[in-house]
Amino acid sequence: MTQYITVDESHAGQRLDNFLLGLLKVPKSLVYRIIRKGEVRINGGRIKPEVRLCLDDKVRIPPLHSIGKKPIAKIDNKILSTLKESILFETTDLLVLNKPAGFAVHGGSNVPFGVIEALRELLNYPFLELVHRLDRATSGCLLLAKNRKTLTALHQLITAGQIEKYYAAVVSGQWPVALMRCDQPLKKVSVTEGQAKVLATREGKKACTLFEVQEANNDKSFLIAQLVTGRTHQIRVHCAYLGYPIIGDPLYGDFKINNTMKKAGLDRMLLHAMRVRFTLKGQIIDIKAPLPKEFKDITSL
């Protein structure tokens, strides 16, 4: 049956695509398809996915069974338990998760569900949205908003560069102590099956990462990287561009080194969102995600 939904205050200002993803719990590809075909309308008119909803807008949603809706994948109780144990911080407005490596943040055409879908099932909150994303292979601090006002406030902080993000990374090679900054512009050149590919090129957008060496030996270095800008795959591409790719990176890494590490028992990318710091409602929020065991001693890798 076709649905007609009136936008309330909790969804006013939200992008149409994100609204539908949260409401329908279906793959992202399906949401974009029904928008592209004009089966989703706002106030009777065709609309683009990036358009933001206004209070009292009337959103038409077609009957999903007629366009091949698939059953929602059952989420294993072990996964739900793992995510519950990974909650680092929670208030009435905000939740910070220590996202495990290997978990996508949301479902897609080849991923039946992600962290956001699992947490919605686990917690059953009236509102829960991702504030930002982490790559599937990256672990660490992931912010989720529990109401529209907080989501908007955090997006404004991100735009203003007022959320400090620090990452732990283990790279191949002995990183020079004097190499503390990379300003190489980055350009997203392709997206294949949901996977972005980014190049370091002068034609790209401004990107800046700060680096600090914590430990190093002849063939590996443990770094702390701080994002000044927040481009797709920024730390991964900057490390590879400088000649010190992140160990285990399946897209920009050294495949020979990755294979060697995999044979030694390492089967993940060594990038971890270790800390976020910002001010919300006058309160300083400073959250740290414990280092995974793979980062504890790089000499044992």
Residue positions annotated with a catalytic role: 135
3-state secondary structure string, the chain?
A: CCEEEECCCCCCCCEHHHHHHHHHCCCHHHHHHHHHCCCCEECCEECCCCCECCCCCEEEECCHHHHCCCCCCCCCHHHHHHHHHCEEEECCCEEEEEECCCCCCCCECCECCCHHHHHHHHHCCCCCEECCCCCCCCEEEEEEECCHHHHHHHHHHHHCCCCEEEEEEEEECCCCCCCCEECCCEEEEEEECCEEEEEECCCCECCCEEEEEEEECCCEEEEEEEECCCCCCHHHHHHHHHCCCECCCCCCCCHHHHHHHHHCCCCCCCEEEEEEEEEECCEEEEEECCCCHHHCCHHHC
